[in-house]
Amino acid sequence: MKVKCFSTHSFEERYLTKWAQTYKLDIDFLSTSLNKDVVSLAKGYDCISCWPSDDLGKEVLESLHEFGVKMISLRSAGFSHLDLAKAKELGMTITRVPSYSPEAIAEHTLGLLMCLNRKYLKAFQRVRDFNFTLEGLEGVNIHGKTVGVVGTGQIGEAFARIMKGMGCSLLLNDKVENTELAKEIDAKYVDLETLLSQSDIISLHCPLNESTRYLINSKNIDLIKPSAFLLNTGRGGLIDTKALIDKLKKREIKGVGLDVYEHEENVFFKDHSDMGLSDELLLRLMSFPNVLITSHQAFFTKEALDNIAKTSLENINNFFHQKENLKENRLS
Ligand code: NAD
């Protein structure tokens, strides 16, 4: 089986190599991201493996189909970079990795919160500078606070359980209520407006789609208390960045922790240290001392990388040998 692996990062290659040996797959690694200019590189391959930065829009899918690529194995859970309707129309098989380690993302979300609240980065720099003063480092107890979790799927549930363990009260919001979870952690489901206005910590864990784009927007952002923290490890497009910047300018939010950003595709996962940034919105966001941004690294643990490599290559093996095993990993 010949597989072309687009957007291969050095950090995932050893995991992919390990599982390729297990499944006896012949993989060619390529660091280049897939787009219409380089799609011809997929010629001669039965299958391609893709990362969220790869363009799987209509035009690219049509070319892949023309070149005889039968299957696309996504190395991600999210698929907002894919034209699923087109893939279905072309009869292409697409698989994803629906779950690889919800705890990795939930734990990173807690990390963002703790860094913002207890100002660890400032404290680290200060102590390295032999400045052992405490002024400006004051935080609040997380214990006893109200945490609002939007999207109570795998990651939202893991985060809610962590916060319950820290002694918080939980408010939940989802289209589909997980009544068992609510009962176990003594939480209640509320509408988004109630969650935004009553939570001390708000964390977004729903997928990005047409119903969730700008879930936090200029109309509802002022419901968030000035003393509250807003965390987003879901997708950048869940927040209208301009509305968030306006709220930050008014100093009406305590802290913002973001692992994702609305226009991250041109910036994240790349080194811009020589060139600087041209994204004005991101630059403005980064200018606030109470905004902490990480570059979509919430998933980035050894366990998650191993699971992504294993499942994405297992999907390829199943497609060619045991299609019935693809089950819920199959998008089309
Ligand atoms: P999941 O499918 O298990 O859960 C998503 C939940 O969101 C579901 O319960 C769904 O009903 C709910 N939802 C959908 N629309 C909603 C709406 N309008 N309002 C409220 N809830 C809504 O997915 P998951 O594995 O928990 O992942 C959640 C998201 O986290 C992914 O879609 C992805 O965008 C993001 N993610 C980020 C990283 C990272 O590294 N930062 C890694 C993996 C996933």
Domain boundaries, the chain: 2-100+302-329, 102-293
C-alpha 301/C-alpha 170 separation (Å) is 26
Contacts of 2 (CB under 8 A, 6+ apart): 26, 28, 44, 45, 46, 47
Confidence (pLDDT) at 46: 93
C-alpha 197/C-alpha 148 separation (Å) is 10
CATH fold for the domain made of 2-100+302-329:
Rossmann fold (3.40.50)
Task: Tell me which residues of the chain have a pLDDT lower than 50.
Answer: none
Smallest Cα–Cα separation from 195: which of 178, 220, 227? 220
Confidence (pLDDT) at 112: 98
How far does the centroid of ligand 1 lie from the alpha carbon of residue 111, in Å? 19
Confidence (pLDDT) at 53: 87
What confidence tens digit (pLDDT) does each residue in 185-243 have? 999 999 999 999 999 999 999 999 899 999 999 999 999 999 999 999 999 999 999 99
Residues taking part in catalysis: 235, 264, 296
Residue nearest (by alpha carbon) to ligand 1 atom 42 = 299
Q: Is the CB of 74 under 6 A from ligand 1?
A: no
Q: Which two tokens stand for residue 154?
A: 């795998």
- Give the predicted TM-score (pTM) of the model: 0.92
Q: Is the CB of 207 under 6 A from ligand 1?
A: yes
Confidence (pLDDT) at 308: 98
C-alpha 317/C-alpha 313 separation (Å) is 6
C-alpha 302/C-alpha 318 separation (Å) is 24
Confidence (pLDDT) at 322: 84
Confidence (pLDDT) at 304: 97
Helix, strand, coil % (nearest 5) of the chain?
40, 15, 45
Shared fold status for 2-100+302-329 and 102-293: yes
What confidence tens digit (pLDDT) does each residue in 209-225 have? 899 999 999 999 999 99
Q: Is the CB of 8 under 6 A from ligand 1?
A: no
CATH fold for the domain made of 102-293:
Rossmann fold (3.40.50)
AA letter at 77:
A
